[in-house]
Chain A
Amino acid sequence: MTYLGGVLDLTAVAWLGFTLACASVSVLAYPSMRPRLVELRPQQRAIAIAVWAALPPAGGLLLTAVCFLPSILSLAGVTADHCLDHDDGHPHMCLIHPPETSGLTFAGIVAATLVFALAQLHREVREHGRLRRVLRTLDRASETDDAHNVRIFDSPIPLAFAAFLLRPRVFISSRLALSLPRQLLDVVIEHERAHVRRRDRLICAAVSVLSRLHVPWIRARLLQDLSLACEQACDEEAAVRVGDRLRVASAILAVERMCSGLPALPHQAVSSFGGTNIVPRILSLLHDAAGSGSSGRRWTWVGMIMVALTILASDSIHHLTETILTPFTR
């Protein structure tokens, strides 16, 4: 029976509750926020989606920290001891007067979180381990094009991709390198290099892990939206490098036409207009600039104001959380 156990127990229960609450808010809010996210520049949209993906665990941490803010301010001598104002009928989320408990609730929640995290990690490693070994073999069997610093591999399929998380590399198939006109191939290479510069693979992997606390269908939508945002951000970078947005649009169309001549792949679907990600990418390139910077600044302000309001409301959040936690700690 320790005071530390009491603080840890309340912290763990509060974080779990807030995390679940943030995931629930996300289910309700994300579908209506999506059209507004589309207004953002692709680079900003990718950041916004990554932040949204991290919302349940990060929001849980922020709100839990806010719950302890009144007692932290009391400890720092900024405010008077707030615990003297209320009775002992509920647990105190306080560093000065925490309830005496064994810390077993904390230990249980930490153990459950660890088991969940390890199970997810095992799943990710198993899913990606085979692909990583395939890519490493493909990398070793490829030749380097020194002029463009890309790996060229023998294949009749027109493929171009950036792969690997920590040391990303660009791969181009021999078919694409030989068949695509030089000025369009330059676009493809610039697009893939942009993925490497932006560390998109690493960011997508981090988001894939962080978004595990969302409900599955929201998570799937977040990952798809992030994927499109990354592709469009790389289209924009390629357009700046080659100095022609229409050339980037033409390159996407040319590669898509080459792929449409291939036999159907397993699970592959033929999409109607708008069903495949090349449509929003090309439509975006046909405009002079994708999204607006002012929307990005507005979202940053909204985020900062929400964090500020949360901190200002710390006393109310603190008391409300204590009241909600009362039945769970008796």
Chain B
Amino acid sequence: MTAPVGPPFLGELEIAMMEHLWATRSSDVETAHRSVGRSRGITLNTIQSTLQRLYRKGLLTRRKVSHAYVYSPHVSREEVMAQLVSEVVTTFSGGRPEPMLATFVDLASRAGRGTLERLEQMIERKRDERARGDR
């Protein structure tokens, strides 16, 4: 099973399952059900199909032990987060205003070092003026 190329789109249960597997490193369906399913009132079948779905998405590997599959993460939490954040950053850096989200500073263009220095000096000058005015 190869790792996914783009960022994975995961539901709430899928995220919970991945968090469980990242913490335990490997798990069979019953253990995952005890850890993630019972508190949510979810059946063993739902846990099984969720694990299969994650396996098909390339996020898990599995090996057969006796009659049951044991699942392990194929990608780390850091890799998944990096792919998601990379997608968001790429959207911003396109330079086109995106209605759905806005970053604190413009990622489409970086201010040069000279610009940053000039702005820093202007802020300091204003701060000094204000301090002199307060005295």
Interface residues of A (CB under 8 A from B): 128, 130-138, 140-141, 153-155, 157, 159-165, 173, 188, 191-192, 195, 200-201, 204-205, 207-208, 220, 223-224, 226-227, 230-231, 246, 249-250, 252-253, 255-257, 259-260, 264-273, 275-279, 282-283, 286
Query: How distant is the Cα of A205 from the Cα of B123 in the complex, in angstroms?
Result: 34
Query: How distant is the Cα of A128 from the Cα of B94 in the complex, in angstroms?
Result: 14
A71 CB to closest chain B CB (Å) equals 40
When the two chains form their complex, are residues A140 and B93 in contact, meaning their CB atoms are under 8 A apart?
no
Per a CB cutoff under 8 Å, which of B80, B88, B95, B119 touches A159? B88
B1 within 8 A of partner (CB): no
B43 within 8 A of partner (CB): no
When the two chains form their complex, are residues B99 and A253 in contact, meaning their CB atoms are under 8 A apart?
no
A209 CB to closest chain B CB (Å) equals 9
- Given A207-B99, A208-B97, A255-B104, 5 more A-B residue pairs with CB atoms under 8 Å apart are A131-B87, A133-B9, A135-B101, A153-B81, A161-B104
Query: How distant is the Cα of A130 from the Cα of B6 in the complex, in angstroms?
Result: 11
Asked, given contacts A200-B102, A201-B102, whether A278 binds B111 with beta carbons under 8 Å apart, the answer is yes
Question: What is the chain B residue whose CB lies nearest that of A169?
Answer: B101
When the two chains form their complex, are residues B97 and A267 in contact, meaning their CB atoms are under 8 A apart?
no
B49 within 8 A of partner (CB): no
State the majority secondary structure of interface residues on A. Answer: helix
A242 CB to closest chain B CB (Å) equals 14
In the bound complex, residues from chain A placing their C-beta under 8 Å from that of B127 are: 246
Q: Quick one: which of B93-126 are within 8 Å of A by CB?
A: 93-116, 118-120, 122-123, 126
Query: How distant is the Cα of A136 from the Cα of B9 in the complex, in angstroms?
Result: 8
When the two chains form their complex, are residues A230 and B102 in contact, meaning their CB atoms are under 8 A apart?
yes
Query: How distant is the Cα of A224 from the Cα of B99 in the complex, in angstroms?
Result: 11
When the two chains form their complex, are residues A268 and B110 in contact, meaning their CB atoms are under 8 A apart?
yes
B78 within 8 A of partner (CB): yes
When the two chains form their complex, are residues A226 and B109 in contact, meaning their CB atoms are under 8 A apart?
no
When the two chains form their complex, are residues A260 and B97 in contact, meaning their CB atoms are under 8 A apart?
no
B85 CB to closest chain A CB (Å) equals 5
Query: How distant is the Cα of A226 from the Cα of B80 in the complex, in angstroms?
Result: 33
In the bound complex, residues from chain A placing their C-beta under 8 Å from that of B90 are: 265-266
